[in-house]
Structure 1
């Protein structure tokens, strides 16, 4: 037994010193060695034409395109018809192009597409174009959709339209669509799982009331027709986002206990949250009462002309749990509009300055006295401040100017010793101004430039 044991131990020792097999030669096809499911996922993520061309790579890839979930995003109607006729499905996404009103047999072509077996159980639909009204045959696809984008089309204004049902829909984008108030409310009522809603340039609806047990994010922008937005009952709503509101919009939040992010509040907004009323009159904001506060809001974005320090302090008192404050100002003028009349306001401590406010970002900083006074207020009073960023014009971003500004702002006396202070070049547009799809509202920080 002892001899056998030593022999086995010797063999193990020799095996331990054996060199590992050499790596495959440079240029070897490692991707083709992946399992079929992984390769199908790769094929699905490719542009449609490129995905179809993978059949030509080798016999290993030949069967994958036909068995991979279809991502159909083509502009040529003939190509779309051929793919739907040859691919057995299932399809994950279908982007319907604008065929144009002069396209021959346009309605019949759409009906054939929407009836294709490959589109059974479709998950994502983008319908873009001058389809007025929306093709009724598209409704066949609605029950399984998780994501829907309707752009530059119109919903039929009849009782049947109110019956449109999207039981699994999580993200809905309506971009420059024409839809009546009754139809829009009917569509939203049929979205039992809706998580995110983006309305951009919607026409035909002056008043929108939202009551949804599931919705977490609502975005409204470039909507001239909409005059009133009411959040009746949204127990899971976390974000109410209004990046581009150019006409007067009255916003009422009756019940949204989890609301954390709000903005951009502009000169065109009148806001009511519970019993708090913030009204805009000729470019000025007025707080009807500061005896009640909205403690849930942690992120606030302001886009107010002639914003004063007095006004900023009122906002901080109104939202004592603020952790992030964004201020956007597009004017390049350096008028003395930010005042330092705050001594009477500082008799009572500002809760968010003492306990919560960690980030302040100001766009359009010019470095004149009024702007310095405004920024210095946060330097000298933000006890838990972690980051303050001032966006400046390119002409005011050289090293000498920045050093002079740091001296004027008394950064050596900053009450929060761990805070970072940055001067950055001002960007032309905030990220949020380019939002086109509902899922873009879900990024970690939609107000950060």
Structure 2
């Protein structure tokens, strides 16, 4: 029998407990690894030098130490961009460098403290004790302030006393940008309420914790917090509402994989971007958000018991970008639930939305019947993005061009939509029927991008699908439209949504295939 790889996330006690309960600890370990990979991909970047060597032209030909002659402020900026070990070692260069590290706002990334030869992410056996001890030493030694601290390598269930001291020091020494991820198990280590006294925070990301109780949250004060990320965090209903209410300048709220059914009642004068990815979502109500520009819901599933995810948009006059809306969502605009086939009225329209993304199972009749109704709720949409979702049990019948023609004209398709993308295209009849309707109706369409599914995961004939796109585009209402057909090398169902893309306001359209790929 081949020897199995060591656990990356489980301690021996947890692995033994899993076996006693009849579970495979290696499967549990792998699921934790997948969860952590999503969390790490969702974290913000840190401001450090990437380690590339300087070009020879910048090196001193005579070997002279010209760095030391630089002004003190410039040397502080250099040190602030070095990994923490290298930054601390600059004190040994000369007396001119000795005080630089202590007077420079600290940038601490604990992944740089892993033992030599250990890659990232760490395994169970190589992460905690050495890294935790080094973090404690650095936080005690440096006087602050702490401009950027990422602590993502330690199993904090085994270091709770150290965790409490870290948060005390971080709060006292003015931490601004903090990322704190617990290496499971357990995945619900209680987060000390001390963190909520860190009034200097401008950005906070938490992964695999249990939020403090309601009393601690009511006493929180985060007056400078502009970005908050909660990744696989255990919390009670109302906890996020409390954090938002105590963050008066919060602009970006990202939520990844809520384990319990998420119920969010959003009231915020400052929030510009709300993103929820994965996990269970019961109810998201945008009650009053006068500055909300982007609402992005990706891969959220409905809770058990036959309940559907409800999305209610109340007062959001600046909402410009909305996705990934699905026909299985119960959409409520103001006080009206949107039903298939209903006539649009001023009470059921969101006129501010210009960019819309829909997830549609073109093989499911009830999904497709909701699409015209949804489109009529957003009369000023100019950029439309459709993700064709996989359908295991088709029920659609023959949803061809005739279905769309019988549904009647859709004004924004006819006279406003200038950019369209259809992703995960396989050439199925429902997809082709929609594409034909779109091309024959859209008079001002300038760009249409069709992205084929990856045939490695979804069996279909690419040549046949490509010929269907060409045939669909023969009778186009717009004579100036460019049609681009691309292939995908991504996973089944398309790439996982990136918080970084959605929260980057330099992207005019975060759903645009062309714009996002152009930055890569």
User: What TM-score do the two structures reach when normalised by structure 2?
Assistant: 0.70
For residues 418 and 26 of structure 1, what CA distance do their matches in structure 2 show?
A: 58
2:322 to 262, 266, 277: 262
Question: Which residue is 2:431 aligned to?
Answer: 371
Partner of residue 124, structure 1: 177
* 1:419 lines up with 2:481 in the alignment: yes
- 1:137 maps to what in 2? 194
Larger radius of gyration: 1
Instruction: State the match for 2:102 in structure 1.
Output: 66
Q: 1:273 aligns with which of 333, 344, 352?
A: 333
Q: Alpha-carbon deviation of 1:315?
A: 3.0
Q: Distance in 1 between matches of 2:466 and 2:263?
A: 50
Name 1:282's counterpart in structure 2. none
Contact 1:97 1:127 in 2 (8 A): yes
- Aligned partners of 1:43 and 1:432: how far apart in 2? 35
Q: Distance in 2 between matches of 1:24 and 1:31?
A: 10
Say if 1:278 and 1:60 are closer, same or farther in 2 by CA, change over 3 A. farther
Distance 1:68 1:315, change over 3 A: same
Q: Deviations over 1:156-190 (max 9, x none)?
A: 32423322121111111111112222433322211
Tell me the residue number matched to 2:4: none
Counterpart of 1:343? Answer: 405
In the alignment, which residue of structure 1 is the partner of 2:359? 303
Distance in 2 between the 1:313 and 1:102 partners?
51
After superposition, where does 1:83-232 map in structure 2 within 5 Å?
A: 83-97=138-152, 99-100=154-155, 103=158, 106-116=159-169, 120-129=173-182, 130=187, 132-141=189-198, 143-204=199-260, 206-224=262-280, 226-232=281-287
396-405 or 250-259, larger mean C-alpha shift: 396-405
Match of 2:84 in 1: 48
Q: What are the ranges of 5 or more consecutive residues in structure 1 without an aligned counterpart?
A: 1-21, 280-285
In the alignment, structure 1 residue 385 sits paired with structure 2 residue 445? yes
Q: Per the alignment, in what secondary structure is the counterpart of residue 94 of structure 1?
A: strand
User: Cα gap change, 1:299/1:259 in structure 2, threshold over 3 Å: closer, same or farther?
Assistant: same
Distance 1:405 1:35, change over 3 A: farther
RMSD of Structure 2 on Structure 1 (CA) = 3.5
Deviates more, 1:287-296 or 1:429-438: 429-438
Q: Quick one: distance in 1 between partners of 2:325 and 2:176?
A: 34
Structure 2 CA distance for aligned equivalents of residues 108 and 23 of structure 1: 47
Match of 1:244 in 2: 299
Paired residues of 1:171 and 1:197 also in contact (CA < 8 A): yes
Preserved CA contact (<8 Å) 2:315 2:334: yes
CA distance in 2, matches of 1:432, 1:114: 32
Using the alignment, how far apart are the partners of 1:265 and 1:209 within structure 2? 18
How many residues are treated as equivalent by the alignment?
A: 415
Cα distance per residue 1:378-437 (max 9 Å; x no partner): 2232222221111114559999668744641344x5333332211111332645534489
Q: Which residue of 2 aligns with 1:327?
A: 386
2:232–2:256 Cα contact (<8 Å) kept: yes
Q: How many Å separate the matches in 2 of 1:71 and 1:322?
A: 43
